[in-house]
A and B are shown apart, each in its own frame.
Chain A
Amino acid sequence: MDGGMSYQRFPKVKIREVKDDIMKFELRETDASLANALRRVMIAEVPTIAIDLVEIEVNSSVLNDEFIAHRLGLIPLTSERAMSMRFSRDCDACDGDGQCEFCSVEFHLRAKCLTDQTLDVTSKDLYSSDHTVVPVDFSDPNEPGEQRGIIIVKLRRGQELRLRAIARKGIGKDHAKWSPAATVTFMYEPMIRINEDLMESMSLEDKRSWIESSPTKVFEMDPITQQLKWHLKLEVQVVGSRLTGEEGREDASYWLSLFRDVPMLPVKVVAEPESYTYDDEVIKKAEAMGKSGLVEIEAKEDSFIFTVESTGAIKATQLVLNAIEVLKQKLDAVRLSDDTVEADDQFGELGAHMRGG
């Protein structure tokens, strides 16, 4: 049945920057459907752990019980464990009770204000039964003394809050509190071509006003004769040849050496192609100036720039890897079952029979 044919793609990845909870990377040689599937899975289907059940013992605060329960649910918990944990609904160790060690984590909170000073009850007051699943710590390592828990409620003298909470594994599709993604976006990489002949026919004044017409800073004036200022990524277009710069190159002499053998002078540099918002303003401006075709801008259909920001529940890099894994599992789940294939084989024979085969 399998003809050994394959129409597989081999996407390429380039990481631009990574921090614990934010990353940027380039994804190439695939299409928008896969980029979008990854984005959707990161937002709605990568599991995390969040508080799902709250038993309030005492609450004399100004917020009502369900308000506090809702706030507790939204606190991000460190969720490295989530991928290997069980969903409570699939857990056979606790008969759907959803409170056993395989599918839940227990938290306790006790706070009472005994002074005239307002007491902040924060995520740091939550005590976990599992040291790997704790409220995300947003404190600044440079300022160790500073308290940076997430405020749950404020208490005045005599008020008290005492509760037990159960955290469970879940996905953003069920409730946004389980989403590990703060933002996940991707953009198409723009390809910008400038007609040098037309550009040369323009006065300095016209060039300036054309550059100014872009709402975002996409273009910049001639860097050769003036001071060199390089941005993250730049593409230099010189008559027929094209030079693409690497990130981090701020060494002017290196750049000048690239131009040595190229017949050129006043060159227009695309300062930051990615700040282009596909607004068409520079194209309209060129037309208005009687210079149609001065610039051509197209979105490369197989190149994407991703920005991934996590809530802190898992690292941004882990979020991407988990999304790939979850998408693989989803695909595996939609494979045809053997009995479906068999039933159709019989149907096929019957059909052939009826057609006189």
Chain B
Amino acid sequence: MNAPDRYERFVVPEGTKKVSYERDTKIINAASFTIEREDHTVGNILRMQLHRDPNVLFAGYKLPHPLQYKIIVRIHTTSQSSPMQAYNQAINDLDKELDHLKNAFETEMAKHSREY
């Protein structure tokens, strides 16, 4: 009866930003990114990629509530970097990793179809 519409899970409502950024008021080089209509799929790969960055002191994500269709990614970096820089870097690296994966997969497919 009062269940939210199914599309609410993946359609960003009009007038809402996909990603919003909020600096921490007390800690320098710490910030939270609120990502609308995303879940563990994006949250977890971002977090793990951020952990590969030695300038990242803390990176974590949470899904505040299963019926609030958003995640919050929190990043704290050293003064050598910034949360925004680390965030962009993580996305770029994941994007390049996926490009590499796509090529590797296609190469394997071609090899496989030639062999069999």
A residues apposed to B, CB below 8 Å:
1-3, 5-15, 18, 25, 30-31, 33-34, 36-37, 40-41, 45, 89, 171, 173-175, 317, 320-321, 324-325, 327-328, 330-337, 340-341, 344, 347
Contact = CB atoms under 8 A, between A and B. Distances in A.
B48 interface: yes
28 contacts: A2-B85, A5-B53, A6-B89, A6-B96, A7-B52, A7-B53, A9-B52, A10-B100, A11-B104, A13-B104, A15-B109, A15-B112, A18-B109, A25-B108, A33-B45, A34-B48, A36-B41, A37-B44, A174-B7, A320-B105, A325-B102, A327-B41, A330-B41, A332-B95, A335-B19, A335-B91, A336-B21, A336-B87
B98 A9 contact: no
Interface string B81-98: 100110111011111111
Rank and list the top 9 A-B pairs by shortest CB-CB distance, nearest first.
A33-B48, A7-B52, A8-B93, A13-B104, A33-B44, A40-B41, A15-B108, A33-B45, A15-B112
A344 B84 contact: yes
B97 A8 contact: yes
Given A15-B109, A331-B94, A340-B17, A7 B104 contact: no
Contacts of B100: 8-11
B16 to A, nearest CB: 12
Given A9-B52, A336-B33, 5 more contacts: A6-B96, A37-B41, A41-B41, A173-B6, A331-B94
Contacts of A347: 23
Nearest to B5: A174
B32 to A, nearest CB: 12
Tell me if A's interface is mostly helix, strand, loop or mixed: mixed
A317 B89 CA distance: 30
Tell me if B's interface is mostly helix, strand, loop or mixed: helix
A244 to B, nearest CB: 19
Given A13-B104, A336-B84, A340-B17, A327 B98 contact: yes
Contacts of A30: 97, 101
A297 to B, nearest CB: 24
A12 B38 CA distance: 27
A291 to B, nearest CB: 38
Contacts of A3: 81, 85
B10 interface: yes
